Amino acid sequence: MRSSIVVAAFAAFISSVTAADAVKGAAEGFAKGVTGGGNAAPVYPTTTAQLISYLKDASPRVIVLTKTFDFTGTEGKVTESGCAPWGTGSACQVAINKDNWCGNYQPKAPKVSKITYDKAGVLGMTVGSNKSLIGQGAKGVIKGKGVRIVGGAKNIIIQNVRFTDINPAYVWGGDAITVDGADLLWIDHVTTDLIARQHIVLGNTASNRVTISNCEINGATGWSATCDGHHYWGMYFTGSSDLVTLKGNYIHHTSGRSPKVAGNTLLHAVNNYFYANSQHAFEADSGAKIVAEGNVFQNVKLAQQASLAGKMYNSASATTNAQCKAYLGHNCVPNAYGTSGALTGTDTSILASFKGKNVAAAGTAESAKNVVNTAGYGKI
C-alpha cells in the first residue's frame, strides 16, 4: 500500500511539473497551429553547452529555462578596429568593421582603433525544428547571445524568455532573434533589451508564417545609432512572401525600424503599444504590405517614416474599415494617437492579400493600452 501511494504521489508530481513547464495558450494569426516540441518530456539544461545541444539537435524538445544562462566570455573577446558613423559621443553606438562594413559603407566615418566585444554575441545559437524554448516563471534569461532559426527549420515556439546584454555598445555585435529560411514560428511573451543590432530580424530568405505576440521590445539603452538613449535597430521584416502577425506587443524607447518591413512581406500589426519613439516607428520598402489596426502610438514623433515606398492601410476610415470584413473576418479597428504623429496609408488594395489566411482578432486601441502590463517575459 505504501509503495502504491509513493508511486501515485510521484506520478502526480511529474504531471504537475510537466503541466507547469509547458507552452501556455496558442498562437494567433499566421502561425496558428504551431506546436513546437509538442508533448515531448521537458528537459532542463544546466549549462550553456547543454542548452546549445538541446536547441540544435534533431529531436522534438520542450526546453525549460530555470535560470540565467550567461554566455559572456564563453567564446572569448575580440579586439579590432571599427568606426563611429553616428558620432563620437558617449551615447553613440560604434560599428564593428564586419566584412569591411566601415570601408564599404561608411568610408568617411571617424575610425576607432580599438573595439573590444564579446565573441559569443555575434552569432546566435542554432535552433532546430520542433522545439519549444520556454522560461519558468521569470527565471528564463539568456544573456550575451541570441538564437538563429535558419536553413529550413520549422515549427518553433519561443515563449517567456528574456534576451539581454548582447554587445549593446557595438553595431554588428549580434541580434537577439534571427530568422532566415523557416516556417511556423511563434515568439510570445519574450523580452529583448540591450541588443547590439536587431531585436528581431526576419532575413532575406522566406520566413513564411510568423506570429510575434505579447513581447516587450525595450529600446532603452546607453548607446544608440541616434545617440539619444533610443535604440534604432528594432525589428526588420524582409524575406520572400513572409506572413507576419505582430500583435499585443509593447515597443518602446526606439528611434526607427519599429518595424522596418521589406521584401514582399505581408504584415498584420494589431493592438500593439508604441511608446517613446524619438524618430519613427514604421518603415516600409517597395513591395511591403501592412495593415495596422487597433494600435496605440504614444509620444511617438513619427508613426511612420515620411514617403513610405510600401503599401499600408491604417484603419482611419469607418467606410473602408468595413471592407476589411470580407478579407480579415472583421471590420478593421481605428488606431489611436497621443502626442504622436499619425499613420497615413489608406491603400485598401492590400486587404485582399489576407483572404483565406489565419488572421488574428482585433480589439480596440483602448484595450491595447493594457499591453504595458501584459507584454514581456515573466507575465504569463
How far apart, in whole angstroms, are the C-alpha atoms of residue 254 and residue 227?
11
Handedness of CA 303, 272, 64, 151 (dihedral sign): negative
Q: Are 262 and 287 in contact (CB under 8 A)?
A: yes
Which pLDDT tens digits describe the chain residue by residue (380 residues)? 444 444 444 444 443 344 579 999 999 999 999 999 999 999 999 999 999 999 999 999 999 999 999 999 999 999 999 999 999 999 999 999 999 999 999 999 999 999 999 999 999 999 999 999 999 999 999 999 999 999 999 999 999 999 999 999 999 999 999 999 999 999 999 999 999 999 999 999 999 999 999 999 999 999 999 999 999 999 999 989 999 999 999 999 999 999 999 999 999 999 999 999 999 999 999 999 999 999 999 999 999 999 899 999 999 999 999 999 999 999 999 999 999 999 999 999 999 999 999 999 999 999 999 999 999 999 99
| Domain spans, the chain | 29-75+117-374
Q: Which helix (H) or strand (E) holds 213?
A: strand 209-213
197 is catalytic: no
Catalytic residue among 61, 197, 209, 257: 257
Grid cell 524618430 is found at: 279
For residue 346, which amino acid is it?
A: T
Element containing residue 325 per DSSP (H, E): helix 325-328
pTM of the prediction?
Answer: 0.95
What dotted CATH number matches 29-75+117-374? 2.160.20.10
Contacts of residue 41, Cβ cutoff 8 Å, sequence gap at least 6: 18, 62
Beta carbons within 8 Å of 152's beta carbon, 6+ residues apart: 129, 181, 182, 183
Q: How far is CA 331 from CA 35, 282, 366, in A?
A: 29, 22, 16
Q: What is the largest CA-CA distance in the chain?
A: 81
Angle at 224 between CA 218 and CA 225, to 5 degrees: 125
Q: Which of 280, 289, 286, 285 is nearest to 342 (CA)?
A: 280
Question: Within 10 A of 309 (CB to CB), how many other CB atoms are there?
Answer: 12
